[in-house]
Amino acid sequence: MKLIRNSGNERVIDRLREWLRQGASVDLMSPTFSVHAFAEVRELIEKAEKCRLLLGEEAALAGSLFGGPADIAFRGKLQGRWLAKLVADWIKKHAEVRHAGAAPPQSLIVVQAAERRRALLGTCSFTTEGLGITPGGQLGLVQAADADDEAAAFADWFRANWDGLKPDSTAKDRLAALLEEAGSLRPPSLLYFQILFQLFKDLGDELDEERIIKSATGIRNTIVWKKLFRFQRDGVVGAIDKLERIGGCIIADSVGLGKTFEALAVIKYYELRNDRVLVLCPKRLRDNWTLYKANDRRNILAADRLNYDVLNHTDLSRDGGLSGDIDLSHVNWGNYDLVVIDESHNFRNKATHKERDTRYDHLMKRVIKAGVKTKVLMLSATPVNNRLADLKNQIAFMTEGNDLALIGHGIPSG
């Protein structure tokens, strides 16, 4: 019996290369099964005449098929589907499969070629880590039985456990079906749905409308609220929740999904709480925003009596003159409780001129940092144009430029 480090030139896969010969038989006990591990031993294991797989619970196997964090380089080759199909075909032709009721506490590999038996016991699961191809845990321990009598004892132990499990004629078919499913083509939309699921699966009652929307404001009685579709109301509730909890939010719906009406509902909610609201928009969109606060027959929200201020992005760099009917020399920039930034991606660049402040600087210093605590609602169908810093610079408005708070939101500060 010999202990092997499972690293360098003392790896499980090196022993298998030495032991596996044409016509050999392999008994494998492992709690997990990786297609990337199969790819590494494919030429070896295909020499085996027969193979018995004693695996862990079926439910746990699905999560191990494409390995763990150490297998990122293998997954990057984008061969997963192809490998899954190869493994499924191999299992159908060469393997017997049984599942233990619980994951085996250790792994075991027994190889018999001619009259010689060899065995490996310990942290040698059928994964790239277990084979020693990728780094494993420092506390892992693998024993190699090079003597025939020692290996025979392990072979008997495997056989006793194999025979102790009730034969299941469908186990192999189910494992092959699992692999074929993993290797099948899927529509791209499933990736989008999976991303949404992973993002929102732990929300629980976080977006509970009754908890977030304070009924006393009367927002549900407004025209703008009644005109929202269900998905838009969900967006408004989510935005208000984030504005209250972290001080900011980006509504990044695609063009045509109603970002403006969602923002108007958020604005009305805060106006009903007597908050002062500023809308910053590109000059070409100014008329869109001023219409919804005007006493104008074209204004379908006239009954809501919206009363926010509207200024252009470029007005941030001006100290005087008129912008619409607002005299910029008298604007109390630091007295806004909520600022809504339409086309917020226009503020994705944070570069500061030494001799003067940019519009970005003016927005941060004069509106967000100055005076009362200001919540920030941003609207953009393209919040990221070229690099992640585009998003970081916009999210900085929520945190008043605090890099530590940015890291708390999962955005790198560098």
What pTM was computed for the model? 0.52
Q: What is the per-residue pLDDT for 190?
A: 84
Residue 407 is predicted with a pLDDT of 43
- State how far the Cα of 400 lies from the Cα of 166, in Å rounded to an integer: 64
What integer is the mean pLDDT of 315-339?
87
pLDDT in tens, 89-134: 999 999 999 998 888 888 999 999 877 899 999 999 999 999 999 9
Residue 120: in which H helix or E strand, if any? strand 116-122
At 153, the pLDDT band (50, 70, 90 cuts) reads very high
Using DSSP's 3-state secondary structure scheme, residue 72 falls into helix
Q: Which of 27-31, 43-47, 180-184 has the highest mean pLDDT?
A: 27-31
Res 402 pLDDT > 80: no
Q: Where are the domains of the chain?
A: 2-185, 189-408
Q: How is residue 299 written in tokens?
A: 């204004």
Alpha helices in 272-350 (DSSP H): 286-291
Which pLDDT band holds residue 412 (cuts at 50, 70, 90)? very low
The CATH number of 2-185 is which of 3.90.1150.10, 3.30.9.10, 3.30.390.10, 3.30.870.10?
A: 3.30.870.10
More confident residue, 135 or 408: 135
The pLDDT tens digits of the residues spanning 223-278 come to 999 999 988 988 898 899 889 888 899 998 888 888 999 999 999 999 999 999 99
CB 78 within 8 A of CB 36: no
pLDDT confidence tier of residue 409, bands split at 50, 70 and 90: very low
Task: State which fold the 189-408 domain adopts.
Answer: Rossmann fold (3.40.50)
Distances (CA, A) of 361 to 76, 342, 349, 350, 392: 41, 17, 10, 8, 15
Q: Please state, in angstroms and rounded to a whole number, the distance separating the CA atoms of residues 164 and 254.
A: 58
Tell me whether strands 326-327 and 375-379 are parallel, antiparallel or unpaired: unpaired
